[in-house]
Amino acid sequence: MMNLNRKPLVGVVSDTQTIDPHVFHTAGDKYLNALAQASGVVPVILPSLLPDVQVTDYLSRLDGIFLTGSYSMAEPSLYGESRIDLPYRYDTRRDALAKALIDAVIASDLPLFGVCRGFQDINVALGGSLHQAVQDVDGLNDHREDKSLSLPEQYAAAHQVDVVSGGLLERIVDRPSMNVNSLHSQGINRLGSGLSVEANAPDGLIEALSIDALSFGLAVQWHPEWKVMENQEQKLIFEAFGDACRARQSK
């Protein structure tokens, strides 16, 4: 029998990185804390061990999936392009895990929340493409952070986003616009199939999306996890994800 007194378990996609000399499967502390504190769930890091461990081996034990941001970029060949000549980090094991998770979540209608690279992972998995360097695209602004600044300065509000009327995000935050941070060099070019735009930056870049096939499937380009307990607008998003996971748990 399901123990409804337990907190929902949320699988968190992992990055693979070498911390010399070994490879580690990692997830950022700020994401895990935001899930535990604002969503009220128990985050569980999912290792990128395909094909030895398949997502079906653990998906039925989880109540939601969270796709983190990352310093790595989605492999451009996944959307039909070659890597551009910039010193980007790539993580093909994360690519494979994210794609498998997204496909499985859509098939099972499990709550899904993605942030930054997670937002881009969803778009790529559903047939969309990315601008590999937003700052070099005519008509788009530079959305990168100034890495010479302190972390609080990097994660400060950078611009407004306009929230699409009648969408999932508007129902959550209950306002037509909100101020967000901006720490990304890539962004959506072609929107994937079965996705709806939930918010746009002033330059027209898509900043939030939802997945039509899911009861709760939301992703944002900004970083709502940063000091989430001090930011009511962003806390509402994590709370909505937690509520969706609890609803799934009770089924």
pLDDT in tens, 79-134: 999 999 999 999 999 999 999 999 999 999 999 999 999 999 999 999 999 999 99
Strand residue runs (E) in the chain: 9-13, 15-19, 22-26, 42-46, 64-67, 72-73, 89-90, 112-115, 130-131, 159-163, 177-180, 187-188, 195-200, 206-211, 217-220
Q: Is the pLDDT of residue 3 over 60?
A: no
* Residue 104 main-chain phi, psi, to 5 deg: -70, -40
Catalytic residue among 143, 145, 225, 245: 225
Are the CB atoms for 99 and 186 separated by under 8 Å?
no
Catalytic residue among 131, 143, 184, 223: 223
Task: Specify whether 116 is catalytic.
Answer: yes
Distance from C-alpha of 24 to C-alpha of 46, rounded to nearest angstrom: 12
The pLDDT mean for the chain works out to 96
Catalytic residue among 116, 131, 198, 245: 116
Residue type at 154 in one-letter notation:
Q
Task: Specify whether 225 is catalytic.
Answer: yes
What pTM does this model have?
Answer: 0.96
Two structure tokens written together for 170: 């508007």
User: What is the structure's pLDDT at 1?
Assistant: 40
